[in-house]
């Protein structure tokens, strides 16, 4: 049996991002396949979040292109779009390193607020929403139904009426993912979703990511320092150091790559330490 060819969802081509004299991303090229999990790893300050910021319209790259192969709209040049259109039109949606839920709102309300674009359109940016016209009511009911679906799929439905800020940290991270899923992403960009999680929560995150990709066919771009997550769930990994791509391949290829081990833990001629360094990149420790 032939294995179906993988389609490229996103092509990052010769991307450079400079902040004054500092080059945060340096001539970076990377392909993100559709329906897979692509991990992006690299030491602190390597340029990973800057890549997400370029991708999601928060920064305008100095040079280079970000081409999204959208199944309905054809090629979309993400570098030309402001952030709200990256999310709304290109359906590239992100989470952030720090939790950005509305702590006093309930879990359900957080998921409905995330869909404000849909609700705004239904209100025709007028007082239709205030007068509760049928089109608006329908959109509102659909938003609630979509939120309820994702709460159920992510095992959060019992918590729908709890204030988000009062829930354990690991749950809040899961709510953030549910919130991103409510806006129907074509590409879900997760910035360190395992940050602050304990080992049990990290293992649950692994299961969730494998479910989203394996069962639902979602395309995920994952920045992560926790090697026990990234090596377990990624189909493909790109490694960045000082803004440049230094390696890419399967988790197995990347974790044994001498350049990667060196980038993470520096040069060391001591034979005993070299085994420890491989262990750290492979998931034995967080760098």
Ligand X SMILES: Nc1ncnc2c1ncn2[C@@H]1O[C@H](COP(=O)(O)OP(=O)(O)OP(=O)(O)O)[C@@H](O)[C@H]1O
Q: Pick the binder of ligand X from 47, 129, 193, 251 (CB under 6 A).
A: 47
Residue nearer to ligand X on the CB measure, 105 or 195: 195
| Residue 54 CB, nearest approach to ligand X (Å) | 10
| Residue 81 CB, nearest approach to ligand X (Å) | 19
Between the two ends of the chain, the Cα-to-Cα distance in Å is: 41
Buried b (16+ CB within 10 A) or exposed e, 191-221: bbbbbbbeeebbebbbebbeebbeeeebbbb
Q: Pick the binder of ligand X from 38, 49, 110, 228 (CB under 6 A).
A: 49
- Choose one: 43-51, 112-120, 151-159, 274-282; the region binding ligand X (CB under 6 A): 43-51
> Considering only CA atoms, which of 240, 260, 244 is closest in space to residue 252?
260
Residue nearer to ligand X on the CB measure, 56 or 123: 56
Residue 164 per-residue DSSP state: G
| Residue 53 CB, nearest approach to ligand X (Å) | 7
Cα–Cα distances (Å) from 34 to 14, 51, 71, 188, in that order, read: 20, 18, 10, 11
| Residue 78 CB, nearest approach to ligand X (Å) | 17
Residue 50 within binding range of ligand X, rule CB under 6 A:
yes
Residue 94 within binding range of ligand X, rule CB under 6 A:
no
Applying the rule CB under 6 A, the residues between 6 and 35 that interact with ligand X are 19, 22, 24
Buried b (16+ CB within 10 A) or exposed e, 170-182: bbbbbbbbbbbbb
- Choose one: 2-10, 27-35, 45-53, 153-161; the region binding ligand X (CB under 6 A): 45-53
Q: What is the dihedral of CA 24, 226, 94, 181, to 10 degrees?
A: 170
Residue 238 within binding range of ligand X, rule CB under 6 A:
no
| Residue 287 CB, nearest approach to ligand X (Å) | 9
47 conformational bin, left if phi > 0, alpha if psi -120 to 50, beta if neither? left
- Choose one: 47-55, 76-84, 117-125, 167-175; the region binding ligand X (CB under 6 A): 47-55
How many residues are present in the chain? 287
Residue 48 within binding range of ligand X, rule CB under 6 A:
yes
Chain residues in the site for ligand X (CB under 6 A): 19, 22, 24, 42, 44-50
């Amino acid at each position: 049996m032939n294995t179906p060819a993988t389609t490229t969802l996103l092509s990052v081509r010769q991307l450079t991002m400079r902040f004054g004299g500092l080059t945060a991303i340096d001539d970076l090229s990377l392909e993100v396949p559709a329906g897979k999990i692509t991990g992006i790893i690299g030491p602190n300050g390597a340029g990973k979040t800057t890549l997400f910021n370029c991708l999601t319209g928060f920064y305008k790259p100095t040079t280079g292109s970000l081409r999204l192969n959208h199944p309905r709209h054809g090629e979309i040049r993400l570098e030309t779009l402001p952030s709200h259109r990256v999310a709304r039109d290109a359906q590239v949606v992100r989470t952030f390193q720090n939790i950005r839920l509305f702590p006093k709102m309930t879990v359900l309300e957080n998921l409905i607020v995330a869909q404000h674009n849909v609700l705004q359109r239904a209100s025709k940016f007028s007082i239709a929403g205030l007068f509760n016209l049928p089109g608006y009511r329908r959109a509102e009911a659909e938003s609630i139904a979509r939120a309820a679906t994702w709460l159920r799929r992510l095992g959060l439905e019992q918590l729908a009426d709890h204030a988000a800020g009062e829930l354990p940290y690991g749950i809040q991270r899961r709510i953030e993912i549910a919130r991103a899923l409510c806006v129907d992403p074509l590409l879900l960009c997760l910035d360190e979703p395992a940050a602050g999680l304990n080992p049990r929560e990290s293992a649950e995150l692994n299961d969730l990511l494998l479910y989203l990709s394996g069962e639902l066919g979602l395309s995920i771009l994952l920045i992560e320092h926790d090697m026990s997550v990234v090596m377990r769930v990624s189909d493909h990994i790109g490694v960045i150091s000082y803004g440049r791509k230094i390696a890419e391949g399967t988790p197995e290829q990347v974790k044994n790559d001498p350049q990667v081990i060196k980038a993470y833990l520096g040069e060391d001629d001591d034979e005993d330490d070299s085994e420890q360094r491989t262990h750290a990149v492979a998931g034995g420790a967080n760098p």
